Amino acid sequence: MELVLADIEVVYGKRTRNHAVRGVSLRVRRGETLAVVGESGSGKTTIAKVAAGLQKATSGTVAWQATGDGGVGGGPGGSPARRQRVHMVFQHPVQSLDPSWRIRRSVKEPLRYLGMADDEAERLVRRLIAEVGLDAQILDRYPREVSGGQAQRVAVARALVADPEIVILDEPTASLDQTVRGRILTLLADLQVRTGVGYLMITHDISSVRRLATRIAVMYRGLIVESGPAAAVLEDPRHPYTQALISAVPVADPRVRWDGVVALPRHPDGTLAVTSCPVPGSCHEHGPGLHEVGPDHVAGCTKAVDPQKAATT
């Protein structure tokens, strides 16, 4: 199964009409990881909520398309009653677990609603807890009695216990220590190989994108400005914003900078604020649009077709 978001627009406030997302289309398949990257306010968390069904889009559609790989509602191996379509791992692990519930109950919750018998559910919960590298003792604890890293492992176990098609990872490592962060990413990668789950990962952390992503979509001001295979986007970023984002990590090319990324003025028609763009072009006149810049690789910059010019300005 494939989760398909088409032309999603989200507008907050009836009066203020604050466009959080302005026409975003993306798809996530089982077995792959789509990383949506961007700074705070780019609309990436809103996209996560819409994809999870926690929030309604102002316009656009969220749909599931069969891909013939045996997902919910048919195909070999997919027993519909036992499966969920989507679950989520949140940024703050401890807050994503009900403080008055023992961990066992939280992890078991998806199975209960699927109508699974308790002994079978218990077996599955124990298996998942072992798979995320925790001791079964933790099942009897309350969320306040475990560390952030442990809580995030619990959250991962809960997200995967009902064998979902897609798990949405909303900044899954942002609130964790550096050392724990790496281990959680390794765990997520392992589990994907084992279960074939698809990830929609929302993050601003380029290093976790490098670890996990198969595809990348870069969001800026509610628009996808570049998307493509992870390797292509990371090695050959075409949009100046993507280049700036990647250069923000220490290893990057110091020549490429986007000054004042945070303080960019808002452009009325929703295109990039070209006044601070290092590659001024005709973008502001007719909107950027997305141009094919490589196989399955698109970027929303009129100058993006010419990588040399974009990179060196």
Partner 1 sequence: MAVVDAGAALRGNLVSRLRVGNPAAVVAFAVLGTILTLGIVVPFVAGSGDVAQEYDGLLPPSFDHPFGTDRFGRDVFLRCMAAARIDIALGLAVAVAVLLVGSLIGAVSATFGRGVDAVVMRATDVLLAFPGVVLALVITASLGKNPWYAAIAVVIAFIPLLVRLARSKALEVRSADYIAAARLSGASTWQIATRHVLPNSFKYPFVQSTLVASWAILDFAALSFLGVGVQPPDAEWGAMIAEGVGDNLLGSWWPSFFPGLMILLTAASFQVIGDWLDRRLR
Residue ranges binding partner 1 (CB under 8 A): 52-54, 84, 86-88, 90-92, 95-101, 106, 109-110, 113-114, 155, 158, 162
Which tokens sit at 59?
A: 């316009």
- Residue 195 Cβ, how far from partner 1 at the closest point, in Å? 17
Question: Nearer Cβ to partner 1, position 27 or 158?
Answer: 158
Question: Nearer Cβ to partner 1, position 42 or 84?
Answer: 84
Which tokens sit at 233?
A: 């986007």
User: Looking up tokens 């490429």, which residue turns up?
Assistant: 256
Reduced to 3 states (helix: H, G, I; strand: E, B; else coil), residue 223 is: strand
- Residue 273 Cβ, how far from partner 1 at the closest point, in Å? 32
Question: Nearer Cβ to partner 1, position 175 or 207?
Answer: 175
Q: Which of 93, 92, 89, 87 is nearest to 170 (CA)?
A: 89
Question: Nearer Cβ to partner 1, position 65 or 95?
Answer: 95
Question: Nearer Cβ to partner 1, position 158 or 284?
Answer: 158
Q: 29 φ, ψ to 5°?
A: -105, 160
- Residue 157 Cβ, how far from partner 1 at the closest point, in Å? 12
- CA 162 distance to own-chain centroid: 20
DSSP 79: -
- Residue 88 Cβ, how far from partner 1 at the closest point, in Å? 5
- Residue 95 Cβ, how far from partner 1 at the closest point, in Å? 5
Contact 228, 236 (CB under 8 A): no
- Residue 110 Cβ, how far from partner 1 at the closest point, in Å? 4
Question: Nearer Cβ to partner 1, position 155 or 279?
Answer: 155
Question: Nearer Cβ to partner 1, position 113 or 123?
Answer: 113
Separation of alpha carbons 108 and 118, rounded Å: 9
Rg of the chain in Å (alpha carbons): 20
DSSP string, 166-187: EEEEESTTTTS-HHHHHHHHHH
Structure-derived torsion over alpha carbons of residues 88, 89, 92, 96, reported in degrees to the nearest 10? 60
- Residue 101 Cβ, how far from partner 1 at the closest point, in Å? 8
Separation of alpha carbons 213 and 230, rounded Å: 6
Task: Spell out the residues 6+ positions from residue 75 whose beta carbon is closer than 8 angstroms to its own.
Answer: 66, 68, 69
